[in-house]
Amino acid sequence: MPESSGQSGDLKPAAEIDKLIHEPARLLIMAYLYVVESADFVFLVRQTGLTWGNLSAHLSKLEAAGYVDIEKEFVDKKPHTMLHLTEEGRGAFQVYRQSMKQVLDDLPD
């Protein structure tokens, strides 16, 4: 079965793509959180164009996966939520980028 094993070898990078990050809205959220140290909900709503509820739902999934850390803090005595990527999230995003690059580079012209 050399043909099939060769095929599975070629498709390995594609199979390793992190499906959680691959979703466009979550990819956008991860990209914004990757380039900054931390940001709040309002900033992400403005930058990504997602609705509040949509953003909240995606962030819950990313938080459950351990990619995003949600921190409650007080600004001017008012509760405020800041978000940042965890080390695991940063690592996962880097791996995702490398995997995607490899998959796209390996595509025939």
Q: Which residues contact another protein by CB under 8 A?
A: 24, 27, 31-32, 34-47, 51-54, 56-57, 75, 80, 82, 97, 100, 104
* Closest approach of another protein to the CB of residue 53, in Å: 4
If the CB atoms of residues 36 and 70 are measured against another protein, the closer one turns out to be 36
* Closest approach of another protein to the CB of residue 93, in Å: 10
If the CB atoms of residues 24 and 108 are measured against another protein, the closer one turns out to be 24
Nearest-Å Rg of the Cα atoms of the chain is 17
Query: What is the crossing angle of helices 24-35 and 87-106, to 10°?
Result: 120
Q: What are phi and psi of 79, to 5 degrees?
A: -65, 140
If the CB atoms of residues 6 and 80 are measured against another protein, the closer one turns out to be 80
How far apart, in Å, are the Cα atoms of 79 and each of 29, 74, 91? 22, 5, 30
